[in-house]
Amino acid sequence: MRLGVHGNWIRTVGKLLLIWALGLAPLLAADEDSLLRWMDGIAQQQLADREAALAKIHTRLEAETRQTQVHAKILELLGGLPNYRAAECARDGEDRPFPLHH
């Protein structure tokens, strides 16, 4: 089977990526502890920020404001909600026979 110029190029790039990945594997494994410490530091800071924000809440209005902020953040992280309503898209509920193909 003859791959031609493009096939050879793809094979060469694949080999280079494999060499690069294998070369980085020991570095990534050795640096795993520092990565986990870094991630833990971020998590601890976020927890401290959350605790400080909750400590400032003393009234119902402040709680509702915080709830709105958290709701907006969750929607942002999810990428929003769909722009359609299922009830509007639903059929009339009439039973229709399943088409049979012979």
Taking the C-alpha atoms of residue 66 and residue 51, their distance in angstroms, rounded to an integer, is 12
Token pair belonging to 2 = 């003859």
The 10s digit of each residue's pLDDT in 2-20 is 555 566 777 788 777 777 7
Tokens of 59: 């009234």
User: 19-74: per-residue pLDDT in tens?
Assistant: 777 776 666 666 677 888 889 999 999 999 999 999 999 999 999 999 999 999 99
Res 89 pLDDT > 60: no
> What's this model's pTM, rounded to 2 decimal places?
0.47
At 57 the three-state DSSP class reads coil
C-alpha–C-alpha distance, residues 80 and 45, integer Å: 26
What pLDDT, on a 0 to 100 scale, did the predictor assign at position 53?
93
Q: How wide is the angle at C-alpha 97 spanned by C-alphas 96 and 100, nearest 5°?
A: 145
Over range 85-91, report the average pLDDT: 60
CA quadruple 58, 64, 67, 73: dihedral sign: negative
Q: What is the CA radius of gyration of the chain?
A: 27
